[in-house]
């Protein structure tokens, strides 16, 4: 199906309200239960498009489009819609904040990032209550995105003069300002969590981890020593910056000077063990003990980068949403983001022949391999290319990788009975959270990811946005639309979750599901926002088309000048036609660099009209000759 962000987001909003807004009350939870992450995902399905796409903005009642008002009508009038969102934001903050007394007989907010029902066990034993209260990087990243979206909404709310609507809703400036403060506190805590979850590790090449890394890096069958030396040279700048520039929560006991060691960097699943405290932040998370093994994990690295991208967006800077402490944390996160992107981008494309990324499936340093890991490495590579100048050669090679991953993941190929690819989607890939078994004597925890299709769609759209080659972009957009077809087949068809995700039974078989997964639904919304950003960009400019348009424009302007020169005063009809041609050619010249196809079309219209005038003049001359020859 064609990707149509406006129509599809409005459809999701309509289904969202049918599923979770009943009798004037917001109902939390879905098929995966209720926790700080799932509830943030649920709220972001509404708030993310409203703060990332200008045409969906809800913070100014007078500017809300009619089709949006119709879809959100269960919430009431335009003013009431805004008030309901404020109510829901307050409810979310209340649910995931602990109020703690201070020494001065006051209180302060302590944000809660518990993963709760999203955590399961790798063993028969159920996770303990303390384990279910653990944070994961997913909770920090999702809260960061939610808090930024909420602050953008509330900033617009404040600027639209709360007092103007006092008679329509019971709201005060003080109430909104208090909510902004509480959300800002949660944002600070989420940023601290991401800083202290960053991990750097070094391994010996002859260790099990080192051999696993070399098996991916060595694509030309040379000696391991040669590969280790080449990797050290390729990553010299990354190592130097890790040693010299990394501020706040330094990586403990990591030898970055020994170039005979292999290095990894990225995000672990939670606060890493022995992470240094952040002294200038007065929140428990700034000094809390971490349990995560200090080794990067591909999935959580990708998730952390997604949240940091929202933090570093131009709109966040324009609105000046961060205070001084948050700006300091943002600088630390930007550095870590850049280092992780550069590291995985270099590793993915290491060597002079076949990329390690092209050797599907990717094998991680702990020996596990999966098509999903290849997809996450591709995602980090695309993020690096988004922030640095992208080479069409890299995008073309990445396109072939996406095609192969779509085929292997049964996105564009048929699923067979007992197909192992089914496990990528149902129940999803189970990621071991190393270090979690040390908590409260509980079992080793696992984190299940089932977003293969949405990760593929989002990164395919990123690649299409980056590509400057017409054929490559067309191929990527075809793959994106095929992935959207796949996801469309996975919408729930019955029950309260109708129109939302995820029911994969029609593709992979099994029992139909009628409960919403906010985990996947929110990621579909992210994809549609990504598509909207892409469509908002100027269309791809084909150099050959631009050259052809300019050639025809020069010819048309010459003919126009000649016709105007020969035009006599009595030919008023011809003058009107030529003036119309002149307007078209003036418009064509103004847009020929940005919209060569449109410029070409306007030029063709002018050429056809001038030719019709020329033919009319020729016919008139012939008729006059016949008259005088009689």
**Cα distance between residue 57 and residue 44, in whole Å:** 13
> What confidence tier does 566 reach under pLDDT thresholds 50, 70, 90?
confident
**Cα distance between residue 397 and residue 406, in whole Å:** 14
Predicted model pTM: 0.89
pLDDT beyond 60 at 114: yes
Of 346, 349, 378, the closest CA to residue 361 belongs to 378
Q: What is the mean pLDDT of residues 6-14?
A: 96
> What confidence tier does 186 reach under pLDDT thresholds 50, 70, 90?
very high
Dihedral angle, C-alpha 352, 354, 359, 365, nearest 10 °: 0
pLDDT reported for residue 217: 94
> What confidence tier does 518 reach under pLDDT thresholds 50, 70, 90?
very high
> What confidence tier does 85 reach under pLDDT thresholds 50, 70, 90?
very high
pLDDT beyond 70 at 545: yes
Q: Report which of residues 263 and 545 the model is more confident about.
A: 263
pLDDT beyond 80 at 212: yes
Q: Report which of residues 392 and 292 the model is more confident about.
A: 292
pLDDT beyond 80 at 621: no
pLDDT beyond 70 at 625: no
User: Rg for the chain (alpha carbons), in Å?
Assistant: 29
pLDDT beyond 60 at 220: yes
pLDDT beyond 60 at 166: no
pLDDT reported for residue 252: 54
**Cα distance between residue 552 and residue 602, in whole Å:** 10
Low-confidence winner among 55-59, 286-290, 570-574, 621-625 (lowest mean pLDDT): 621-625
Q: What is the mean pLDDT of residues 274-284?
A: 91
Burial 193-228 (b: 16+ CB within 10 A, else e): bbbbbbbbbbbebeeebbbbbbebbbbeeeeeeebb
pLDDT reported for residue 108: 87
Looking at every residue in the chain, the average pLDDT score rounds to 90
pLDDT reported for residue 107: 83
Range of 3-17, 160-174, 538-552 with top mean pLDDT: 3-17
Q: Report which of residues 186 and 616 the model is more confident about.
A: 186
pLDDT beyond 70 at 89: yes
pLDDT reported for residue 87: 94
> What confidence tier does 171 reach under pLDDT thresholds 50, 70, 90?
low
25-26/21-22 β-pairing: antiparallel
Burial 128-146 (b: 16+ CB within 10 A, else e): beebbbbbbbbbbbbbbbb
**Cα distance between residue 514 and residue 497, in whole Å:** 6
Half-sphere exposure of 614 (CA within 13 A, CB side): 11
For a pLDDT cut of 90, what percent of the chain falls above it?
64
pLDDT reported for residue 620: 62
Low-confidence winner among 11-25, 236-250, 483-497 (lowest mean pLDDT): 236-250
Q: What is the mean pLDDT of residues 340-360?
A: 94
pLDDT tens per residue across span 321-348? 999 999 999 999 999 999 999 999 999 9
Range of 98-107, 227-236, 562-571, 617-626 with top mean pLDDT: 227-236
Neighbouring C-beta atoms of residue 387, cutoff 10 Å: 16
**Cα distance between residue 602 and residue 627, in whole Å:** 38
pLDDT beyond 90 at 69: yes
pLDDT reported for residue 610: 86
Q: What is the mean pLDDT of residues 379-385?
A: 91
Q: At what angle do helices 324-348 and 236-244 cross, to 10 degrees?
A: 160
> What confidence tier does 353 reach under pLDDT thresholds 50, 70, 90?
confident
Q: Where are the extended beta strands (E) located within 10-92? A: 21-22, 25-26
pLDDT reported for residue 630: 57
pLDDT beyond 80 at 133: yes
pLDDT beyond 80 at 470: yes
Q: What is the mean pLDDT of residues 391-399?
A: 89
Q: What is the mean pLDDT of residues 402-423?
A: 92
> What confidence tier does 628 reach under pLDDT thresholds 50, 70, 90?
low
pLDDT beyond 90 at 490: yes
pLDDT reported for residue 184: 97
**Cα distance between residue 607 and residue 359, in whole Å:** 54
pLDDT beyond 60 at 626: no
**Cα distance between residue 16 and residue 74, in whole Å:** 11
pLDDT beyond 80 at 540: no
Q: Are 513 and 502 in contact (CB under 8 A)?
A: yes
């Amino acid at each position: 199906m064609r990707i149509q962000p406006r129509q599809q987001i409005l459809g999701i909003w309509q289904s969202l309200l049918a599923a979770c807004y009943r009798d004037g009350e917001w109902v939390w939870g879905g098929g995966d239960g209720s926790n700080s992450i799932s509830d943030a995902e649920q709220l972001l399905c509404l708030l993310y498009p409203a703060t990332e796409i200008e045409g969906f903005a809800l913070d100014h009642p007078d500017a809300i489009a009619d089709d949006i008002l119709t879809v959100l009508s269960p919430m009431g009038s335009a003013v009431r819609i805004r008030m309901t969102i404020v109510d829901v934001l307050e409810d979310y903050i209340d649910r995931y904040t602990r109020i703690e007394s201070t020494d001065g007989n006051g209180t302060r907010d302590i944000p809660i990032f518990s993963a709760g029902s999203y955590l399961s066990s790798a063993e028969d034993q159920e996770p303990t209550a303390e384990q279910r209260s653990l944070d994961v990087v997913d909770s920090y990243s999702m809260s960061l995105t939610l808090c930024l979206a909420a602050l953008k909404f509330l900033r617009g709310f404040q600027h639209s003069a709360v007092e103007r609507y006092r008679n329509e809703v019971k709201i005060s400036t003080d109430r909104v300002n208090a909510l902004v403060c509480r959300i800002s506190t949660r944002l600070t805590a989420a940023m601290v969590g991401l800083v202290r979850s960053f991990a750097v590790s070094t391994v010996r090449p002859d260790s099990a981890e080192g051999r696993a890394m070399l098996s991916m890096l060595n694509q030309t069958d040379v000696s391991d020593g040669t590969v280790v030396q080449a990797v050290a040279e390729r990553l010299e700048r990354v190592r130097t910056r890790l040693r010299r520039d990394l501020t706040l929560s330094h990586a403990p006991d990591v030898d970055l000077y020994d170039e005979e060691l292999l290095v990894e960097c990225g995000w672990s699943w939670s606060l890493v063990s022995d992470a240094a405290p952040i002294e200038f932040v007065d929140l428990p998370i700034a000094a809390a003990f971490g349990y995560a093994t200090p080794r990067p994990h591909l999935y959580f690295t990708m998730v952390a980068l997604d949240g940091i991208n929202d933090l570093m967006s131009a709109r966040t800077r324009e609105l000046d949403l961060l205070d001084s402490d948050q700006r300091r944390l943002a600088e630390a996160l930007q550095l870590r983001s850049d280092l992780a992107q550069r590291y995985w981008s270099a590793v993915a494309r290491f060597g002079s022949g076949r990329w390690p990324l092209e050797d599907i499936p990717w094998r991680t340093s702990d020996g596990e391999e999966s098509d999903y890991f290849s997809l996450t490495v591709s995602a980090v590579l695309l993020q690096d290319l988004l922030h640095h100048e992208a080479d069409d050669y890299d995008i073309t090679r990445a396109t072939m990788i996406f095609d192969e991953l779509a085929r292997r993941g049964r996105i564009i190929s048929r699923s067979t009975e007992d197909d192992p690819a089914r496990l990528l989607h149902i129940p999803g890939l189970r990621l071991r959270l190393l270090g979690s078994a040390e908590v409260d004597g509980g079992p080793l925890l696992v984190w299940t990811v089932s977003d293969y299709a949405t990760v593929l769609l989002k990164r395919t759209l990123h690649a299409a946005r980056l590509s400057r080659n017409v054929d490559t972009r067309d191929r990527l957009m075809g793959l994106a639309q095929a992935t959207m077809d796949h996801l469309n087949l996975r919408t729930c068809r019955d029950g309260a979750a109708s129109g939302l995700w995820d029911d994969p039974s029609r593709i992979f078989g099994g029992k139909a599901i009628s409960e919403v997964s906010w985990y996947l639904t929110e990621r579909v919304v992210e994809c549609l926002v990504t598509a909207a950003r892409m469509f908002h960009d100027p269309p791809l400019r084909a150099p050959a088309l631009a050259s052809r348009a300019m050639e025809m424009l020069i010819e048309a302007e010459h003919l126009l000048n000649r016709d105007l020169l020969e035009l006599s005063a009595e030919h008023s009809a011809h003058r009107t036609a030529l003036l119309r041609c002149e307007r078209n050619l003036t418009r064509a010249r103004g847009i020929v660099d940005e919209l060569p196809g449109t410029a070409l079309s306007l030029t063709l219209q002018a050429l056809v009209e001038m030719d019709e005038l020329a033919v009319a003049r020729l016919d008139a001359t012939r008729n006059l000759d016949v008259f005088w020859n009689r």
